[in-house]
Chains A and B, each alone.
Chain A
Amino acid sequence: MHAYTEKIRDAARRLLAEKKVDGVIGFRRGTLPLMNEPVFVRHVDHVDQLIWDGNCGINLANYLTKRKDRVAVVAKGCDSRNIVVHIQENQITRDQLHILGVPCQGMLDRKGILRALNGREPLEVEETDSQVRVSGEGFQEVFARREVLQDNCKICIHRNPVIYDELLGEMVEEPTDVDRYEDVRRLESLSVEERWNHFEELIASCIRCYACRNACPQCYCPTCFVDESRPQWVGKSLDPTDTRTFHLLRAYHMAGRCTDCGACERACPMNIKVRQFTKKLEKDAKELFDYEVGIVLEERPPLDTYRPDDPQDFIK
């Protein structure tokens, strides 16, 4: 996986030198263990900032909407699917993009690792294809890499980029024995009241910072419904009605658009499992329309098409 770093730099150097792009969107080494920072590299001299490792979980498609320039972007499986959605939704055109595809082995779950360390602060992290070695003052822990992946990465079945101009590594094998909706089915099996309580508890600690919304590539409305002020639709206090309205409406805006990239959960400072809202809608899109988001560029999303053979008959 680390081998991508040199390939990303080589590609960026070439694209910038040949003036094929105005800049390259990738990651640079973070200032904290298990964190990297998205970066926009405009000059050949700065290409060596670019890196790749298991801490590139932020979805870079989030930096593409409404751009006017031509850019190269490093894209793992989920980023590439969000790029497809952006093109479908006219947020950027295909010819503005030079996609550097990186087959992905899953991204590390920083919060999960911090939880496992139980208050001990990680100061150094070494990552190999199979292990993550975390050390700090007076301790060292070794985790199996597959055990400390983000929840969404553990069940990911689209690790390879679905769209790219260059592929920077060998395609990885896509898992076929994954049950993507085990948790959703568990929630579906609950009574209405139990489910209500579950979601109320889930968002009880929400501070309305909107990190989940803003980390999401698909949340690009010029003015979000919670920020509308004339008229105002949603209250700004921590009243459960308002917090609930925000989460439910945000989730519904994701129906047939969410790639389960995990950016929302990764961003939440309160560690709320916000994917529990969107995964049900993803499952519905799959079951009702046999649709997987962002796989085929030419296929219109289920909620902006009408097909006489749609499986539900209520509309006929």
Chain B
Amino acid sequence: MLKIFVSKDNLPRLVDRLMADNQVLGPVREGEAYRFRALKEARDLDLNFQNTRLSPKDLMHPQTDPLFAYSLRKDDPEAGILKELPRQTAQRVVLGIRPCDAKAFQLVDVNFVTDTYRDPWWEARRNATVLVGLGCTQPCSTCFCTAVGTGPFDSSALDVLMTEVEGGYLLAAVTEKGEALLQDAPEAQSATGEMAEAAEKIALEAAKKVAKPFVIDPLKDKPQTELFGAEFWEEVQFACINCGTCTYLCPTCWCFDIQDEVQGDRGVRLRLWDACMFPLFTLHGSGHNPRSQKLQRVRQRFMHKFKYYVDKYGDGPACVGCGRCVQYCPVNIDIRRVVAMMSASCVCPT
């Protein structure tokens, strides 16, 4: 597939050209943290970042997503009829997404796009977006992507993989969508064999830097009930304050709530992020709550990612090792430690 080289000086010109036909999003520094934002101008793009504080999942699954609108006016013949709001159709390019965060979209696809149901909002956004990933040369000490089946230069969920090389970036097309994006780029020159070799070496070096705090293989064969009933959950859950930090920052946590908000005679149906940490998430209409205890909620988050998902889809786990929950949990509940316990508790086949 096509590989091009863009010098650092020429990158803004490439971005400018992309902005003419697409909405271009990328990491932007806001105060002390980075966040994916639609670029207003090419120079807003700041690739000098480790990762964004919030994952880019809101690009596909916004925290507040208005799906339908309706009128409640008594004299309106269409009162009470839900009208779908326009979906994402404008083409978008996400520049500089980390391979782990892009991998997360793929892991979440299995939830939103299934044989029996295709979520039109998720799918529209996914289809309208080209992902240009930036390989990660300086993984954090909290990263564990290689332990969960991805890696700092994993291109499997990207359309284009960017590697920072001497003087600029090597852009390698991964998909046809990516190839189309890279074609006819006057700002670029074709990549040489040496550049490609250098990029490969950089990728290998980066992968070596990532810690492997646990092995996940034993989890597959472990009976769910045994893990579910494990004693260590009591210890794991103690410190948890059941806030939504881990789930809201997580690139693979997809749970949501649907709510209607009415103001005057206009209503809107919203899809909103929700979290298994909140008791309200599982509160039934009857008043019964199957996960009324903190232990149940804490266990759910880890079991969903590392056991239920794995068992249900024969894939996974539903974690990309970005380490955000590790860095930002206010009480230092460390998923690496928890999964190591889950994995070690296995009666592994010898």
Establish whether residues B331 and A31, one from each chain, have CB atoms under 8 Å apart when the complex forms. Answer: no
- In the bound assembly, the distance between CA atoms of A72 and B54 in angstroms comes to 37
Partner of B141, one of A36, A123, A208, A267: A123
- In the bound assembly, the distance between CA atoms of A188 and B331 in angstroms comes to 33
**In the complex, how many angstroms separate the beta carbon of A115 from the nearest chain B beta carbon?**
5
Establish whether residues B248 and A38, one from each chain, have CB atoms under 8 Å apart when the complex forms. Answer: no
Instruction: Please give, as numbers and ranges, the residues of chain B lying within 8 Å of A238 by CB-CB distance.
Output: 63-64
Establish whether residues B63 and A229, one from each chain, have CB atoms under 8 Å apart when the complex forms. Answer: no
**In the complex, how many angstroms separate the beta carbon of A149 from the nearest chain B beta carbon?**
18
Instruction: Please give, as numbers and ranges, the residues of chain B lying within 8 Å of A235 by CB-CB distance.
Output: 259, 261
Per-residue 0/1 for B256-267: is the Cβ within 8 Å of any A Cβ (1 yes, 0 no)?
Answer: 010101000000
B239 interfacial by beta-carbon distance below 8 Å: yes
Among B115-123, B160-168, B313-321, B322-330, the stretch in contact with A: B322-330
- In the bound assembly, the distance between CA atoms of A271 and B248 in angstroms comes to 15
Establish whether residues A237 and B332, one from each chain, have CB atoms under 8 Å apart when the complex forms. Answer: no
A175 interfacial by beta-carbon distance below 8 Å: no
Closest residue of chain B to A55, judged by CB? B332
Per-residue 0/1 for B48-89: is the Cβ within 8 Å of any A Cβ (1 yes, 0 no)?
Answer: 011001100000000110000000000000000000000000
Establish whether residues A269 and B328, one from each chain, have CB atoms under 8 Å apart when the complex forms. Answer: yes
- In the bound assembly, the distance between CA atoms of A123 and B336 in angstroms comes to 17
Within 8 A of B (CB), among A195-243: 205, 207-211, 213-215, 223, 227, 229, 235-239
- In the bound assembly, the distance between CA atoms of A51 and B152 in angstroms comes to 35
Instruction: Please give, as numbers and ranges, the residues of chain B lying within 8 Å of A308 by CB-CB distance.
Output: none
Establish whether residues B249 and A269, one from each chain, have CB atoms under 8 Å apart when the complex forms. Answer: yes
List 26 contacting pairs A-B, 8 Å CB cutoff, sorted by A. Answer: A30-B332, A31-B326, A31-B336, A32-B326, A32-B327, A32-B332, A37-B239, A39-B239, A58-B330, A58-B331, A115-B32, A209-B244, A209-B245, A210-B243, A211-B241, A211-B245, A213-B243, A214-B241, A214-B243, A215-B330, A223-B279, A227-B279, A239-B64, A267-B330, A269-B245, A270-B53
The chain A residues found within 8 Å of chain B, CB to CB, are: 30-32, 35-40, 58, 62-63, 115, 119, 121, 123, 205, 207-211, 213-215, 223, 227, 229, 235-239, 266-267, 269-271
List the 7 closest pairs (A to B, CB-CB), nearest first.
Answer: A267-B330, A209-B244, A211-B243, A214-B241, A237-B64, A37-B332, A38-B239
